[in-house]
Amino acid sequence: MSAHLSLPHTFNAATHFIDRHLAEGRGASVAIECGDERVTFQDLYERVNRAGSALRDRHGVRREERVTLLLLDTPDFTTSFFGAIKIGAVPVPVNTLWKAADYQYVFNDSRSRVLIISKALLPEFEKIPRAELPYLEHVIISGRAGVHGGSRVHSGSGVHSGSEDPLYLSDLIAAGSPELEAAPTNKDEPAFWLYSSGSTGAPKGCVHLHHDMVVCAESFAKGVLGLTEHDRCYSVPKLFFAYGLGNAMYMPLAVGATSILFPGAPTPGNAYAVIEAHRPTLLFSVPTSYAMLLSHRREAGPDFDLSTVRLAVSAGEALPSALFTRFRERFGIEIIDGIGSTETLHMFISNRPGAIKPGSSGVEVPGYEARILDDGGQPVKRGEVGHLYIKGDSICAGYWNQHEKTKETISGHWIRTGDTYFQDEDGCFWHAGRSDDMLKVGGLWVSPTEVEHVLVQHAAVQECAVVACEDKDGLVKPHACVVVRAGVAATEALGAELQAFVRERLAEYKRPRWVEFVSELPKTATGKIQRYQLRDRLSARG
Ligand code: 3UK
């Protein structure tokens, strides 16, 4: 299936995902629920038009220009994303758990002139010295002054130089024109970017095209989940993540379903409260979060009510079969595990409702082909482990300004996922680990070298290695092996201090959950740390 091939040459994704609902008579249905707020398809259409015209007419945003979105999950995310797309601009959602240095990199790499940011994220953003952001001109704030507990933005701090008053997205939307014609973009033109992290070097901007979201909605949302307009989608992983973006934004929008958005922290207590209040039919999450839901119980009274959920979906890292079983036993709900990536936008291999093989990733999603190749590029025998390559129409055009990395990853129709896999006698695919040192922690990337570089900045650390270690649920978390400098006492207190040291400098999920002091690290003849040896040693210990 080549879903996009049936799309006209001139195609704007906003027309398909937003405007179409009015023509189909869905204007009064609810597109988004967020707390007490209900946004109908008619409201969403108008907001998108207003945001798009204000960006274009008031801020001079032109076609192909990137607009960075540093937004929590609220209707403003959907509005900003499709407002930008409708005028032919290119929204770039960014991980809201990152730190100032990460933001600085992506704002400059994408050369964004306009940033739309949630009020609660301003303090982290304002740590970036203004002089370090040569491209940024306008900062538009989502969330009213005084709302969400934030303070007013200080004039003169961060980017708000001189007497310029802070700009609010709500004012822009109120002042923008409710009429907006979609820019006549090409179906193969860049529509949005998503950043993907690698084991070395800075994050890479994956350039996605106008047809990509349509392909994923057709293949996975309709083809695997059987999503209809009667569904209500709730994704614990946030919209900045390629997985969340599909789950709770463009997949429900593809069929006229309702998306349930929640801007707060994805704690089990919050997730259960959202489920009970908004009654989703589809629940999307990551294994770490399913494990947290399973560990959480109500203090008294009946168990949490998940009776509206017809199906749960897991991705981001492999779902251990024990979690699948425990979740089904407790709630009577099956979790289908599937694998996707930022580069392919959404799932390419997945289990099927009613035909699940727990522990496996399932089989190809309609529209995608998979190959498992050996180091020499030849297909492996059935049952043998090799490198997974995927073909499908939602693969990004390439990495922005990283031609070598693009060529290393994408070749013709095929993309190298960086995962090793084997296929069993039934054709099911089983994840066998990464071919690089990258860790998936709670579904998010952690580069061991990035954490090591922070640890060695601490005065007590001689050298260190960060490797994957499984917790009690069989889920990977970072483990640091540290060699201390001569004369330094390797105490428990030092371990805690090193964890705090990392937490101050990197996103919280990157913090080593364990610090182990060792006398030396295994190295190759050329002095390169052999992380796999440490990893094997840890898993042998169990
Ligand atoms: C790993 C999995 C085993 C794997 C994603 C669904 O995770 C997503 O995108 P990312 O770019 O990471 C991709 C990498 O994560 N992975 C993801 N799912 C699984 N490993 N089993 C799984 N079920 O290493 C993959 O290459 O952050 C997931 C939909 C869209 C996505 N972007």
User: Is the Cβ atom of 339 under 6 angstroms away from ligand 1?
Assistant: yes
Contacts of 277 (CB under 8 A, 6+ apart): none
Give 195's strand partners: 205
CATH label, 447-541, candidates 3.30.1020.10, 3.40.50.2300, 3.40.50.620, 3.30.300.30: 3.30.300.30
- Tell me phi and psi for residue 475, to 5 degrees: -105, 140
Euclidean distance between CA atoms 251 and 214, whole angstroms: 9
Euclidean distance between CA atoms 537 and 354, whole angstroms: 38
Euclidean distance between CA atoms 129 and 185, whole angstroms: 36
Query: Residues 191-249: pLDDT tens digits?
Result: 999 999 877 778 999 999 999 999 999 999 999 999 999 999 999 999 999 999 999 99
Element (H, E) at 141: strand 138-142
Confidence of residue 150 (pLDDT cuts 50, 70, 90): very low
Query: Domain spanning 13-28+40-187: which CATH class is it, in words?
Result: alpha beta
Query: Residues 348-395: pLDDT tens digits?
Result: 999 999 999 999 999 999 999 999 999 999 999 999 999 999 999 999
Euclidean distance between CA atoms 524 and 251, whole angstroms: 47
Domain positions in the chain: 13-28+40-187, 204-434, 447-541
Q: Atom 13 of ligand 1 has which residue's CA nearest to it?
A: 341
336 C-alpha to ligand 1 centroid (Å): 14
User: Is the Cβ atom of 380 under 6 angstroms away from ligand 1?
Assistant: no
290 C-alpha to ligand 1 centroid (Å): 16
Ligand 1 atom closest to Cα of 443?
Answer: 7
Map residue 352 onto helix, strand or coil.
Answer: strand
184 C-alpha to ligand 1 centroid (Å): 33
What is the best residue among 440, 445, 447, 470 to mutate for testing ligand 1's pocket, by most ligand atoms within 8 Å of CB? 440
Ligand 1 atom closest to Cα of 344?
Answer: 32
For the cut 80, the answer to whether the pLDDT of residue 162 exceeds it is no
360 C-alpha to ligand 1 centroid (Å): 13
User: Is the Cβ atom of 116 under 6 angstroms away from ligand 1?
Assistant: no
535 C-alpha to ligand 1 centroid (Å): 21
Q: Provide the pLDDT for residue 539.
A: 83
User: Is the Cβ atom of 138 under 6 angstroms away from ligand 1?
Assistant: no
Query: Residues 60-109: pLDDT tens digits?
Result: 999 999 999 999 999 999 999 999 999 999 999 999 999 999 999 999 99
Map residue 66 onto helix, strand or coil.
Answer: strand
Q: Quote the pTM value.
A: 0.92
For the cut 70, the answer to whether the pLDDT of residue 155 exceeds it is no
Q: Fold for 204-434, please state it.
A: Rossmann fold (3.40.50)
Euclidean distance between CA atoms 231 and 240, whole angstroms: 22
Average pLDDT of the segment spanning 124-141: 97
316 C-alpha to ligand 1 centroid (Å): 4
Fold: same for 13-28+40-187 and 447-541: no
User: Is the Cβ atom of 243 under 6 angstroms away from ligand 1?
Assistant: yes
What is the best residue among 212, 323, 339, 344 to mutate for testing ligand 1's pocket, by most ligand atoms within 8 Å of CB? 339
Confidence of residue 445 (pLDDT cuts 50, 70, 90): confident
273 C-alpha to ligand 1 centroid (Å): 27
Average pLDDT of the segment spanning 260-264: 98
